[in-house]
Amino acid sequence: MPAFFLALALPILLMVVSYILQLFHDSPRRLPPGPRPLPLIGNLHQLDHLPHRSLARLAARHRAPLMSLRLGAVLTVVASSPDMAREVLQRHNADIAARSIGDSMRTGSHCNNSVLCLPPRHGWRALRRLGATELFSPPRLRAMEPLRREAVSTLLRHVSDHAARGAAVVVGAAAHAAALGLLARTMYSGDLDPRTAREVSDVVDEASVLAAGPNVSDFFPALAAADIQGVRRRMARLVKRMYAIIDDQIEQRERSRAAGEARKNDLLDVMLDKEGEVEEEGTDDVRHNTIRGLLTDLFTGGETTSHTIECALAELLQSPNSMTKVQEELNGVIGTKQQIDEADTSKLPYLQAVVKETLRLHPPVPLPPYEAEATVEIQGYTIPKGTKVLINIWAINRCPDAWIEPNRFMPERFLEAEINFMGRDFHFIPFGAGRRLCLGLPLAYRMVHSMLGSLLHRFRWTLPAEVEKNGVDMRERFGLALSLVVPLHAIPQEIH
């Protein structure tokens, strides 16, 4: 029994000593302003279940576009304005480009093989280069256009079936299924059977919430080994399930290659070809773990596409004038075609404006975490090495100094100025900026416009009577990617 109490008291004593040492350590440094932390818990009591919103309120209250606070024992700096985002993601990006990784993401060896987790060094560069050349280069994207078109056609058939029955569509789920189907075809030239598709969707959804949720191990790293909440163990089970799905595809491909069957020249073939090769920059051999890591990362990307489509339709259903404008534009450009071609997107400025305005109000990843790999100074304030740095994209995209009526859905604002989301306009960075600009952005851009445009062109959308009466529930659920607490249900009616 004494040993038990000693084992319990020792970590607590370490936390107390750590807190006292931090006070002495912080005093000579000029940290950014922020709320005064309490002993031990720091500023944890000032966060709620939507940290991007509570951090935005704190930054406004303390007039601190660059704000420091303590999340438990972890020094954290939050950038909440376009100017501060530029400082972090452009001027100091060389020193603040590593990801701050939660304890749950360190399960097994996944983080060692994930482009989302790796620091910006050899292994990360090799995976980014592989993705850029084999998935998202202009020639590859052109070659994959028939696959994307078929994914949109599959989505339209699903919605058309509901329209024939007068049934409501669960918009986000339908869009996510189509996105996963496209990713599967791109990665290994196959499709996901319904059972596997549901399992992948469930794993991605649960892992997103689990990885971004409050975890004692993240706030008090001294206690991480104990995994008090069991978050790491739960994440390990999810990763194991995803890897089993991917391993099945690897084994099938290896058997077909051994039997002398024709190559498919998809991403899986390319990655298997690279086994045993050493990258020019000295990275380790590309092994099955690397294949599992990259394919898992790609599967998680489907959630951001479906979230954007769901939120766009939700906003349009609450803005009849905007809905009329975008459907009139589509009718004028697309005519009697059943779905839009990707080449049509450039002729649809209002559709593009709808997508941009949706991403402004509902960025899929509202609070990406970084870590300072060296001590830097920003406008006279010190950000010490090892500090967790959060870019509050949600707050930046609603900055009142940058946007007129920032909380209002108003696509017209993007018709009046040339603003894109490639990370150069720092008041509009839904996909981040700098070295960590979303790798899958070229694919996401094409998919969102073709899927959303086709859904709006082919169907007239209404809300179920109960939702019409009570209003669309736009409450958010925080995760690695945002989602709606109540999934959007909408009733389609065939137009074309």
Binding-site annotation: residue ranges for heme: 438
Among 300, 286, 382, 302, smallest CA distance to 77 is for: 382
| Phi, psi dihedrals of residue 328, rounded to the nearest 5° | -65, -40
- E strand spans, 235-333: none
Separation CA 284–CA 290 (nearest Å): 10
Counting Cα atoms < 13 Å in the Cβ hemisphere of 28 gives 3
Separation CA 331–CA 323 (nearest Å): 12
Please report, for residues 152, 179, 277, the alpha-carbon distance to residue 491 in angstroms, rounded to integers and kept in the order given. Answer: 18, 21, 52
Q: Which amino acid is at 42?
A: G
Separation CA 153–CA 350 (nearest Å): 23
Q: Residue 428 contacts by C-beta under 8 Å, 6 or more apart in sequence?
A: 356, 360, 397, 419, 420, 421
Please report, for residues 43, 330, 344, 397, 455, the alpha-carbon distance to residue 482 in angstroms, rounded to integers and kept in the order given. Answer: 23, 28, 29, 15, 22
Strand partners, 78: 67, 390
Q: Residue 67 contacts by C-beta under 8 Å, 6 or more apart in sequence?
A: 32, 33, 34, 55, 58, 59, 77, 78, 80
Q: Which residues are annotated as a binding site?
A: 438
Separation CA 180–CA 190 (nearest Å): 11
